[in-house]
Amino acid sequence: MTDAAGHSLYDLVLAVECEHDLPDPAGYSPGCAGSPPPGAAILVVDERVAETFTVPGDEVERLV
């Protein structure tokens, strides 16, 4: 997102609990890297879960 002069309107790209739902999560972050101006930040926050889903999950898995 930019203003009329082409200057970026934000200094942070924040992705919370969403990359695991994207069809191409590996392609998402590099696309974001070109969005903010130099010196801006990209913060990706996602839950850490087991590699495979099991039932019943452990206490941590039940919370997410």
User: Does some domain include residue 38?
Assistant: yes
Give the domain range for residue 22: 12-63
User: Does some domain include residue 7?
Assistant: no
Q: What is the pLDDT of residue 58?
A: 75
What rounded mean pLDDT belongs to the chain?
74
Tens digits of per-residue pLDDT, 5-63?
A: 666 667 788 888 887 778 887 777 666 656 667 777 888 888 777 777 777 777 777 76
User: Does some domain include residue 31?
Assistant: yes
User: Does some domain include residue 3?
Assistant: no
Q: What is the pLDDT of residue 45?
A: 86
User: Does some domain include residue 4?
Assistant: no
Cα distances from 38 to residues 12, 33, 35, 41, in angstroms, run 11, 9, 9, 9
User: Does some domain include residue 43?
Assistant: yes
Looking at the 3D structure of the chain, how many domains does it have?
1
Per-residue pLDDT at 2 exceeds 70: no
Instruction: Quote the Cα angle for 21-44-64, to 5°.
Output: 55
